[in-house]
Homo-oligomer: A and B are copies of this chain.
Amino acid sequence: MEAQPIRVATVNDEVYARLHKAITSGALLPGMKLTIRSIADSFQVSTMPVRDALRRLEACGLVVFGRRSVTVTLLSPDEVEQVFQIRLRLEQLAAEWAIARVGPHDLDELERILADMDEPGLSADQWRALNQRFHLRFYEASESDHLLRLIRDVWSKVEPYMAIYASRVDDFSESQQQHRFMLDLIRRGDLSGLLVATAHHLDYTAKTVVSALEERLASS
């Protein structure tokens, strides 16, 4: 139980959190133009915290500052694929570190998350949240805040597109099967097996997301 310094919620952080969620959940679609003033008005705050929040989102790569505009980052299918490749390398490293330090308590929690994901009738958002929690929860065992933060940021970049994918598909059994297989490898401490499984899992996800994205682009 490492005590994080208590951060009293500042408006800045709140705006950042809401915008981050809005973008990654797909509520604000990639390519959409944002205006600082409208956001400020809708949140009933001044433009200042919105500016700060957008700056931080810019550094995460979620928005892009133009000459006179702020737009939600729009990735081409090719870029999405690149980001997935980057994610893979980072997550493989995290897996290496995590598998060596994972404890029984961690395993229990991972198991519980998977159980939650088996629950029928999950919304796409709920499934995405649980899916992310499963992976990140495991990587937390790596005990590297730097790596974890990096993975989170890179994850965020492709999250909007996973939201698109998840909203069109209602069968996650294949993905869930892979999760169980990976958890089993983690339990047995099979690192090389886990690395392969992770690559396979991410490739599978990437292919699905990218093809869904290309299909959407072609139809427009």
Contacts and interface: CB of A to CB of B under 8 A. Distances in A.
Interface string A120-158: 000000000000000000000000101101100010010
Interface of A: 5, 7-8, 51-52, 55-56, 58-61, 66-67, 79, 82-83, 85-86, 89-90, 92-93, 144, 146-147, 149-150, 154, 157
As for how many copies of this chain the complex holds, the number is 2
The DSSP consensus for interface residues of chain A is helix
Contacts of A79: 146
Contacts of A5: 66-67
Contacts of A7: 67
Nearest to A52: B55
A61 B8 CA distance: 21
Contacts of A55: 52, 55-56, 59
Nearest to A90: B89
A147 B82 contact: yes
17 contacts: A5-B66, A5-B67, A52-B52, A55-B55, A55-B56, A56-B58, A56-B59, A59-B60, A61-B149, A82-B147, A86-B90, A86-B146, A86-B147, A86-B150, A89-B93, A150-B150, A150-B154
A146 B87 CA distance: 11
Contacts of A59: 55-56, 58-60
